């Protein structure tokens, strides 16, 4: 994680009922215990693995509303206008003010299953492998 951005988040989190876990070995367990998962990236990157893993365990994800993430996450969770601290803070406040995180988590799980489950991806991979092996 970007040290400057992480510092800003840690300062904003003082006296708040949140825990920042930037580097976790047992990610799946941590995601399952979370109420809300923040994915506040502003970096151009590949596939958002952690965000999709959070969705797979039924957690709502806060993410910046940029095209690659919107495509991968299927519009589920809480899209914010930017990856800045104020936008993310606003999403956290909304989540703590009665937003139905359980419903958002169920919707996220459904999107993850529809788009990224092994049952969906394996036929595509198999087809690719078979077509490549024949060359």
pLDDT by residue for the chain (135 residues), tens only, comes to 566 777 877 887 788 777 777 666 778 888 888 999 999 887 767 788 889 999 999 999 999 988 888 899 999 999 998 778 898 899 999 998 988 999 999 999 999 999 998 899 899 888 888 888 766
pLDDT at 110: 96
pLDDT at 22: 66
Look up the pTM and report it: 0.76
Domains and CATH numbers, the chain: 3-133 (3.40.50.2000)
Residue 42's nearest CA partner among 61, 65, 59, 58 is 65
Residue 111 has which token pair? 């999107």
User: How far apart (Å, rounded) are the C-alpha atoms in residues 3 and 8?
Assistant: 9
Residue 72's nearest CA partner among 84, 63, 81 is 63
pLDDT at 79: 93
In this structure, are residues 108 and 59 in contact, taking their beta carbons and an 8 Å threshold?
Answer: yes
Give CA separation, 62 vs 19, 35, 42, 106, 108, in Å. Answer: 15, 11, 13, 15, 11
- Residue 42 exposure: Cα atoms within 13 Å on the Cβ side: 11
Q: Strand, coil or helix: what is 50?
A: helix
pLDDT tens profile 25-39 = 778 888 888 999 999
Residue 40's nearest CA partner among 89, 76, 74 is 89
pLDDT at 60: 96
User: How far apart (Å, rounded) are the C-alpha atoms in residues 30 and 21?
Assistant: 8
């Amino acid at each position: 994680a970007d040290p400057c951005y992480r510092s800003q988040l840690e300062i904003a989190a003082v006296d708040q009922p949140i825990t920042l876990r930037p580097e976790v070995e047992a990610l799946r367990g941590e995601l399952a215990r979370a109420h809300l998962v923040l994915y506040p990236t502003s970096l151009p990157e590949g596939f958002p693995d952690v965000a999709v893993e959070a969705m797979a365990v039924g957690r709502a994800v806060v993410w910046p509303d940029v095209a690659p993430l919107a495509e991968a996450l299927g519009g589920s969770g809480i899209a914010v206008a930017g990856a800045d601290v104020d936008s993310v803070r606003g999403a956290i406040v909304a989540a703590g003010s009665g937003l139905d995180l359980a419903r958002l988590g169920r919707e996220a799980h459904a999107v993850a299953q529809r788009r990224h489950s092994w049952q969906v991806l394996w036929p595509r991979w198999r087809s690719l492998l078979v077509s490549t092996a024949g060359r």
